[in-house]
Structure 1
Amino acid sequence: MTRIVVVGSINMDLVTLALRFPAPGETLLGDRFLTVHGGKGANQAVAAARLGARVCMVGAVGDDTFGQQLHDGLAHEGVATEHVRRIADCGSGTASITVAGGENQIVVVPGANARVTPTHVEQAQSTIAQADAMLVQMEIPLETVEATLRLGHRLGVPVILNPAPARQLPVEWLKLARYVTPNQHELATLLGADEHEDFRALMLRAPCPVVLTRGAEGAWYADGAELVHQPGFKVDVIDTTGAGDTFNAALAVFLRKGLPAAVRIACAAAALSVSRLGAQGGMPRHNELEAWLADQG
């Protein structure tokens, strides 16, 4: 069984479904409201667990009702939570999400996620040392992202950095990642480049291996000096929330099969996830993904 450690955010998603997005200053009647467990870190942990990995989450929740619900939700999915802290006098992270026309708009309030420290990561060192791969995102403090990259590099554990929300990072940090998994906008921000520059040129200029996600178009990655396009899979899109998290989780879980196979499986998992509502709600299980891929030929 593949062992994955995820260092990242844990949020309660407050989801509103509407026919369209409101204009500035406008009030709309929505169709439906849901509270859904989320956060990029927790999403990736749940997705990896559903795909058959043994997963440990490193993160934090608040000392509130959401915190207990989020902790219990991870445990229910089979994610190990011994490194999920409960932070006193602090609210859990939240994400306010509006879904309309198959797209989404999101406002994140970090809450307890801002209290995930380098010390917290170091305390999980014995678990990390046994992992086959690590996942880290950027909804936690940047110093903790750096600590995760450095610890993974020191222990020889491949770290997949999902640079979202996007910020420019030092080249030295990027060189510590086994793979960085941005979309086009995130890659340009990460490198301090013009986002209108051809993404293929940016990929070749990056100081680390890049697996670039392109939504319905699939993904791109480098094979030696050549860039390879993995086409996406056609599905009816219901909700794109969590698609990138599903992609990253699948990439980590199936990396042992080699990068080309892992990217193809990750594109398939992401496609399945957008055909259903909710970030974690749409994430496929291993047998479901396997059967669906077999049907694709």
Structure 2
Amino acid sequence: MHTYDLVVVGSANADLVVRVERRPGAGETVLGSDLATHAGGKGANQAVAAARLGAGTALLARVGRDAHGRLLADSLGEAGVDTSALLTGGAPTGVALITVDPDGNNSIVVAPGANARLTPEDVERAEGLLAAARVVSLQLEIPLDTVAAAVATAARNGTRVVLNPSPPVPLPAEVLAACDPLVVNEHEARFLLDLAGDPAADASSASPEQWAEALLATGPRSVVVTLGAAGAVLADATGAARVASPRVEAVDTTGAGDAFTAALAWRLGLGESLTEAVRLAVRVGAAAVTRPGAQESYPTLDEVAAR
């Protein structure tokens, strides 16, 4: 019996956002808008996005005993996320410094803070939580050894693993082997393929379908490459396919990838095929970019259907 559709193990940050006419170059100063503070972090974003869609969701993360930590706990609770595994202390809450240009594109620098103190021991103590989930979703804004511990715990309990390796780092073979799917954007795909010495890392001579198939050969059970407004490409043992995204006017792309991954993981946990799950995920990601912010931009399932 599964208590949760999705358990997310990952980061929780305060997003400090400034809108700019253009993002600064090296050594350059530009003036921006008033500072806006939002609840964010890839882990918390995924948990909120899934809960908004109707998934039974819990988050294992760590925040500081500070105002940003309270902001995150409140945001998660209001979205319907189970926060019983939200740990506090060890360092200040993580912070993401985000600039957003008029086209909705962003640049992000993350100060991990308490996220860096989420440990394998924390995961071990939460084994019952992971075992009660259909799917465990992970990212890389927490220590890699903690991610590896969560993957091992999920595998031990027969729980499906979805991993977005962001920010990208070299992944242990046992982590890659558990991913079903590995979810990457274009930058992350090229990074991992370059590590593997694969010529498909050269964007000028390889298609996204080739990226996906080349990444599949590195060990994961399935792969999804997100392409922004162009949709996504998926690959598994049956081959590669592309799913188009609906056309929308982008306001802010912050957190859109997290909304995509959350929707994908939820629907896979419900038993949908990878293609079916990606079809919903691209629609959820597209809806998320039409509103500013990360968590506050995430749609309900009814809002997605209305589009």
> What amino acid is the match of 1:74?
L
In the aligned structure 1, how far is the partner of 2:168 from the partner of 2:245? Answer: 23
Paired-residue identity, %? 44
1:206 maps to a residue whose letter is T
Q: Is the 8 A contact 1:153 1:177 kept in 2?
A: no
Matched, 1:261 2:276: yes
Alignment partner of 2:178: what SS?
A: coil
1:243 corresponding residue in structure 2:
256
The superposition leaves residues 63-108 of structure 1 with CA deviations (integer Å, 9 ceiling, x where unpaired) of 21111221222112111111111114x2110000000032101000
8 Å CA contact 2:4, 2:58 repeated in 1 = no
Aligned to 2:293: 278
- Tell me which moved more, 62-71 or 21-30: 21-30
1:91 aligned partner: 92
Which residue does the alignment assign to 2:219? 207
CA shift for structure 1 position 2: 5.8
Aligned partner of residue 98 in structure 1, secondary structure: strand
Cα distance in 2 for residues equivalent to 1:278 and 1:84: 22
TM-score, normalising length: structure 2: 0.91
Q: Which blocks of at least 5 consecutive residues in structure 2 are unaligned?
A: none
CA RMSD of aligned residues (A): 1.5
- Aligned with 1:19: secondary structure? coil
2-side partners of 1:232 and 1:253: how far apart? 19
Q: What letter is aligned with 1:102?
A: G
CA contact (8 A) 2:99 2:106 kept: yes
Moved more, 115-124 or 239-248: 115-124
Once the two structures are TM-superposed, the CA of residue 223 in structure 1 deviates from its matched residue by 4.9
Partner in structure 2 of residue 177 of structure 1: 179
In the TM superposition, residue 190 of structure 1 has moved relative to its aligned partner by 2.8
Specify the alignment match of 1:295 in structure 2: none
Provide TM-score, normalisation by structure 1.
0.94
Q: Which residue number in structure 2 is paired with residue 67 of structure 1?
A: 69
Partner of 2:305: 290
Amino acid at match of 2:100: V
Superposition deviation, residue 215 in structure 1: 0.8
- The amino acid of 1:258's aligned partner reads S
Distance in 2 between residues matched to 1:226 and 1:80, nearest whole Å: 37
Please, which of 82, 85, 90 is the counterpart of residue 84 of structure 2? 82
- Inter-CA distance 107–140: structure 2 relative to 1 (3 Å threshold): same
Runs of 4+ in 1 over 4 A off after TM superposition: none
What letter corresponds to residue 251 of structure 1 in structure 2? L
Deviation of residue 159 (structure 1)?
0.7
> Partners of 1:154 and 1:190 in 2: how far apart?
26
8 Å contact kept, 2:209–2:241:
no
